[in-house]
Chains A and B, each alone.
Chain A
Amino acid sequence: MSQAFDTSDLTGNRLEQEEWSPLPIGTSIRAYRHVFGPVGLTALLILLFVSSAWLSLGSPNSPIELNQAVHVESADDLSTLLDSYNKDYKATLLRLDNNISLQAILIVLTVLLIIRRSDSLSLFGNSIPLSWLHFFIPLLAIALWLGVGFILHELIWGRIQGVQIIKALRRPHVELQKALFRDAGFIDGWFVTFIGADYSSINPSFKAGTAGVLVLLLATLVSAAHASLLAIVSIGSRRYIPGASRQRLLWYYLAPLLPLLVLLLSHFQFAYGGANRNWLQLYVAALTVPLMAILLWLSMTIDRKFDRESLQCLRRQRRHRCFGPPRQSVFDPELAVTAEPSNRTIALIGDSLSTTFHVGWPPAMFWRLWRGWRTNWFLRLPSENQNYSSILRKVSALGTITGVQHATVSASVDRGGPRSFADHLIDRWHFSHQVDEVLAGRFPDLLLIWIGHNDVDWRKQTDNCTAESFGELADAFIERYEIQLRRLLSGALAANKPGAIVVFGLINFESFFKARAEAETKRMVNRRLFPYLETDLDTLSR
């Protein structure tokens, strides 16, 4: 991260160094702004689904509140039936154990997939592409999960019916007979916690402890299985779906939605359709979200080292491609040498002067904070022609080129550090954050830097308008600037390819204020002109 950068060599004689010494470039995960996007979307959909079900249907019924449980009146031939119920119950318990074990294996497999070092798995001499597993494992996980729902429902109702039969038989030692249905495990805990001690033959005083174990073990495992299922499809989409970054990003968000829908409907069916009132499912829903976030974070951490290209779609997708002259020139052997590779990039680090932001009506201003990056001198201008065109359009005369816009409104030359809540709210990325973004991806062939206009308002930084205080401000500014510039240069060198960085000096404020004075004069004549001219710039983003 930028704040971890060692600044000890940047004070004093920093400009007298004779050799270039590579410095840690320190990228931050904050450059991958979409990494937790699917988690947020999942959490939102779960919340909407659960609250909608709760508000429209209320709390689910409990099986013993309904008259659906068997009420046996006659004891004829019940002994045989009880034996049959008990055998079925034990067999189903075994199925539950097997299912849970398989789910645990799938969770482990998911983690192994996330931390994979290659794209294939060699098994008995055969190479299995891991990309398939990213989508096969979720299918298996869904099948297993649906199985759990049916098995659990069968066990609950089978046990209730079995106990009803035992009661109908009116034999002595009823409590001992109820123990026939005990499993010393999850189902016992379920009955104690959600149905009642009458069906469990367990001391109710153990209820709190039983519930705790129940939640920690099984519900956590189910949550982990859900999180694995949802995370791995997102990760698989990011890693393997072909196409441009935008398409990958779209699938990164959309891919978990179908399995999420299946999970939500199955939970709904279990709780409401099966009349199984419990709070365990809410716990599962709540825990699935952070576990999914952890898995996505883990995959990003691994891929930053081994598959950085797959993370590119997680950055801000503020790019525009300008196609160059007709491609036929590529086939000319003489021109083929200079024909462009299609992945040339030019990027811009900057502030609001590189966007179409302007102060105005607050909602519209908020919109422009987020969307004003599209039109500007660098990326594109409306109705472009030879004399009226953006840098990207002009440079595309040399061949197809992709422009990446990092500039944001209100950005300044900062000291580094995490983005604040306000930064997130207004989509502000200061110099160090924009540098993080640049370093997180393939280093651009040509990088333009035009930032610092928000640092020249000396009134915010000092009370003295003297040459000495200005010198101090300039020292501090250049020190901050140099730290980020050195990070960029280290990144450019690490990219091991030719590149250029152009640092633009700040705008000519003298002529700028001349233009502004003209605007003020015009406004004095016609108050409809420049309606937000007097708006206090200190309180608004520039």
Chain B
Amino acid sequence: MIDLALIFNQRLDTLCRTLQGLLSATSIRLVYSDAMSVSKIDSAEYLSSVDAWHPSLEGHSVLANGAHQVVLDQARKLGWGEVA
């Protein structure tokens, strides 16, 4: 599963780059992000205390922190400025 997931991620990256190239003249951006792939879900506390397979709330928080930057970048590129 580990190897296959890595292959999937490489292919997704390639796919997104290719399609983004075709969209260059449009106002739509397609971005591949490895934010979730590098998030450190490496401790039991980040897994559900029941099945140890799905993320716990702490795990979800780690995922949110991981995805935060890329989402924020894209939001800003859409013109969503910092109001506060």
Report if A259 contacts B (CB, 8 A).
no
Report if A498 contacts B (CB, 8 A).
yes
Task: Give bound CA distance, A329 to B84, whole Å.
Answer: 8
Question: Does A502 contact B70, Cβ atoms closer than 8 Å?
Answer: yes
Interface size in chain A (residues, C-beta < 8 A): 97
Task: Give bound CA distance, A497 to B66, whole Å.
Answer: 27
**Known contacts A377-B61, A535-B51, A499 near B27 by CB under 8 Å:** yes
Question: Does A358 contact B48, Cβ atoms closer than 8 Å?
Answer: yes
**Known contacts A335-B83, A470-B3, A470-B4, A503 near B32 by CB under 8 Å:** yes
Question: Does A506 contact B9, Cβ atoms closer than 8 Å?
Answer: yes
**Known contacts A391-B64, A489-B28, A502 near B71 by CB under 8 Å:** yes
- Report chain A residues within 8 Å CB of B32: 502-503, 505
Residue of B with least CB distance to A360? B50
Looking at the assembled complex, report how far the CB atom of A473 sits from the nearest CB atom of chain B, in whole angstroms: 6
Looking at the assembled complex, report how far the CB atom of B18 sits from the nearest CB atom of chain A, in whole angstroms: 5
- Report chain B residues within 8 Å CB of A325: 83-84
**A375, A377, A398: residue with the most chain B Cβ atoms closer than 10 Å:** A377
- Report chain A residues within 8 Å CB of B42: 511-512, 514-515
User: Which of B4, B44, B70 is the one whose CB lies under 8 Å from A456?
Assistant: B4
User: Which of A340, A382, A505, A512 is the one whose CB lies under 8 Å from B12?
Assistant: A505
Task: Give bound CA distance, A478 to B19, whole Å.
Answer: 13
Looking at the assembled complex, report how far the CB atom of A238 sits from the nearest CB atom of chain B, in whole angstroms: 30
**A325, A340, A387, A394: residue with the most chain B Cβ atoms closer than 10 Å:** A394
Within 8 A of B (CB), among A494-530: 497-516, 518-520, 522-523, 529-530
- Report chain A residues within 8 Å CB of B70: 502
- Report chain B residues within 8 Å CB of A329: 83-84
Looking at the assembled complex, report how far the CB atom of B72 sits from the nearest CB atom of chain A, in whole angstroms: 6
Question: Does A502 contact B37, Cβ atoms closer than 8 Å?
Answer: no
Report if A298 contacts B (CB, 8 A).
no
Question: Does B53 contact A500, Cβ atoms closer than 8 Å?
Answer: no
Task: Give bound CA distance, A493 to B29, whole Å.
Answer: 10
- Report chain A residues within 8 Å CB of B55: 353, 377
Question: Does B26 contact A390, Cβ atoms closer than 8 Å?
Answer: no
Question: Does B5 contact A498, Cβ atoms closer than 8 Å?
Answer: no
Question: Does A357 contact B54, Cβ atoms closer than 8 Å?
Answer: yes
Q: Which of A118-126, A274-282, A299-307, A443-451 contacts the other chain?
A: A443-451
* B54-84 near A? 1/0 per residue, CB < 8 Å: 1101001101110110111011111111111
- Report chain B residues within 8 Å CB of A500: 28-31, 74, 77-78
Report if A254 contacts B (CB, 8 A).
no
Within 8 A of B (CB), among A470-488: 470-471, 473-474, 477-478, 481-482, 485-486
* B18-52 near A? 1/0 per residue, CB < 8 Å: 11001100111111111111111111101111111
**Known contacts A356-B60, A482-B15, A507 near B36 by CB under 8 Å:** yes
Task: Give bound CA distance, A65 to B82, whole Å.
Answer: 81
- Report chain B residues within 8 Å CB of A40: none
* A284-316 near B? 1/0 per residue, CB < 8 Å: 000000000000000000000000000000000
Question: Does A324 contact B44, Cβ atoms closer than 8 Å?
Answer: no
Task: Give bound CA distance, A116 to B57, whole Å.
Answer: 49
Question: Does A358 contact B51, Cβ atoms closer than 8 Å?
Answer: yes
- Report chain B residues within 8 Å CB of A532: 50-52
- Report chain A residues within 8 Å CB of B79: 338, 498
Looking at the assembled complex, report how far the CB atom of B64 sits from the nearest CB atom of chain A, in whole angstroms: 4
- Report chain A residues within 8 Å CB of B34: 504-505
Looking at the assembled complex, report how far the CB atom of A455 sits from the nearest CB atom of chain B, in whole angstroms: 7
Report if A69 contacts B (CB, 8 A).
no
Question: Does B4 contact A324, Cβ atoms closer than 8 Å?
Answer: no
- Report chain B residues within 8 Å CB of A357: 54
Question: Does A504 contact B67, Cβ atoms closer than 8 Å?
Answer: yes
Task: Give bound CA distance, A66 to B83, whole Å.
Answer: 80
Question: Does A515 contact B41, Cβ atoms closer than 8 Å?
Answer: yes
Question: Does A515 contact B33, Cβ atoms closer than 8 Å?
Answer: no
User: Which of B2, B13, B16, B47 is the one whose CB lies under 8 Å from A510?
Assistant: B2
Looking at the assembled complex, report how far the CB atom of A501 sits from the nearest CB atom of chain B, in whole angstroms: 5
Residue of A with least CB distance to B58? A388
User: Which of A15, A340, A530 is the one whose CB lies under 8 Å from B50?
Assistant: A530
Query: Across chains A and B, which 9 residue pairs bring their CB atoms closest together, nearest first?
Result: A338-B81, A325-B84, A519-B52, A511-B42, A505-B9, A359-B51, A358-B48, A377-B63, A20-B22
8 CB contacts below 8 A, A to B, read: A340-B83, A387-B65, A395-B80, A474-B7, A474-B11, A489-B30, A508-B38, A533-B53
